[in-house]
Chains A and B, each alone.
Chain A
Amino acid sequence: METVRKWVQVIIGFLTNSSWSFPFTKTIYQGPLKVICSPGLNCYSCPAATTSCPLGSIQQLLGGLRFSLENGQHYFGLSVFGTIGVLGGLFGRMICGWACPFGFIQELLHKIPSRKFGIPRMLSYGKYFFLLVFVIVLPLVLVDEFGTGNPWFCKFVCPAGTLEAGLPMIFLQPNLRNTLGLLFLNKFVLMILILGWAVFASRPFCRTICPLGAFYALFSKVRLIKLHLDEAKCTNCKACHHVCPMGVKFNESPDDPECITCLACMNKACKFDAISLEIGGIPLAVPDRGLTPASKP
């Protein structure tokens, strides 16, 4: 199943970045597919991106809200919130585990042999701060003389934008190098720190900073597809704790907002079939190895 997940990550990463004419055009894809939001974090200024980033779109729409209202338009970001809300209701953070290119990059970096460290649980609340403040409040509230707000998260934080768009665009359009300054230096250093952190800790950006992950996490209890814990079969052996890339203690918190439904606990750890994938409460078939509470060690 892990191989299937990797292939899904590769295919979705390719589908959301399938415009490979940029070495010749020297710019980004400008076709109609960009009206579609990518499910994961994927900068729409990436030269290969064929879809738009939901976070970038929300910030741009909220930043331009006053201007649009003055012109009789009502761009509250509902189409984008609606898109990622439907995805959240269906899959929740399964999107992070299966369909986010930046999550996939972090997973690859974490495979580099090194000493591995955990991430304090308290830091996971940081991503809700970034969602509320950097994605919603600041673009709405801090506006210039024309009533336009900035995409604060993209501008000051997002390492995916620097990696997937900033660096490639500097190489493609040499005149952009004249605009490099403190802003880029800040984002470049942040990107290096986050990518470096990903070598030593599993998915640090997803767990502590990503506002899109925070939004999908809000659906942890109500999403259609999620993992289910059969308490009658669970022995509390804690094997699931050791394989989770997000630091979830599944037997203690089956609806944990951090769970990305990578299925590692179900397939690699649990020997008692206590964990199964369910759709709307209906469990999918799981192999029954004949272990029952009476025969547990």
Chain B
Amino acid sequence: MNQPTRDLRKKRPIRKAPFVVIPVFLLLWLIGVATGEPARVLEQAVQVCLSCIGLG
């Protein structure tokens, strides 16, 4: 009785969408890194952001 379920599993196609989406965002990340954004992020993140925490 379990055989049909196994067949269904075998026939289910591999979803291609994640393999398109992930490289696109990886490319965005690379462009951001190439423009020097991480240094700016670090510059901001090492300071206490008073307005972020509602103090300024």
Contact A90 B22 (CB under 8 A): yes
Indicate whether A169 reaches chain B with its CB closer than 8 angstroms: yes
B12-28 interface (Cβ within 8 A of A) = 12-15, 17-22, 24-28
Contact B48 A61 (CB under 8 A): no
Given A35-B41, A68-B40, A78-B31, A89:B52 Cβ within 8 A = no
Contact B51 A280 (CB under 8 A): no
Indicate whether A4 reaches chain B with its CB closer than 8 angstroms: no
**Nearest CB on A from B48, distance (A):** 5
Q: A28 to B41: give the CA distance in the assembly, Å.
A: 15
**Nearest CB on B from A47, distance (A):** 9
Contact B15 A280 (CB under 8 A): yes
Residues of A close to B44: CB separation below 8 A: 44, 52, 56-57, 60
Q: Which residue of chain A lies nearest to B42 when distances are taken between CB atoms in the complex?
A: A35
Residues of B close to A154: CB separation below 8 A: 49, 51-53
Contact A81 B32 (CB under 8 A): yes
Type the 1/0 row for A254-297, where 1 means its CB is closer than 8 Å to any CB of B.
Answer: 00000000000000000000000000111100001010101100
Given A79-B32, A288-B2, A161:B9 Cβ within 8 A = no
Task: Using C-beta atoms within 8 Å of the partner chain, give the interface range for chain B.
Answer: 35 or more
Q: Which of these binds chain B: A121-129, A205-213, A216-224?
A: A216-224
Residues of B close to A170: CB separation below 8 A: 55
Residues of B close to A150: CB separation below 8 A: 51
Q: A80 to B49: give the CA distance in the assembly, Å.
A: 18
Residues of A close to B41: CB separation below 8 A: 34-35, 37, 52, 57, 60-61, 79-80
Contact partner of A77 (CB less than 8 A), chosen from B4, B17, B32, is B32
Q: A44-B52, A79-B35 are in contact. List 12 more A-B contacts (CB 8 A).
A: A28-B46, A44-B44, A52-B41, A61-B41, A74-B35, A78-B31, A79-B32, A179-B55, A186-B54, A233-B5, A281-B14, A281-B15
Q: Which 7 A-B pairs have the closest CB atoms?
A: A82-B29, A79-B32, A85-B25, A78-B32, A187-B54, A82-B28, A166-B53
Mark B residues whose CB is within 8 Å of A: 1-2, 4-5, 8-9, 12-15, 17-22, 24-33, 35-42, 44-46, 48-56
Mark A residues whose CB is within 8 Å of B: 27-32, 34-35, 37, 43-45, 52, 56-57, 60-61, 64, 68, 73-83, 85-86, 88-90, 150-151, 154-155, 158, 161-162, 165-166, 169-170, 176, 179-180, 183-184, 186-188, 219, 221-224, 230, 232-233, 280-283, 288, 290, 292, 294-295
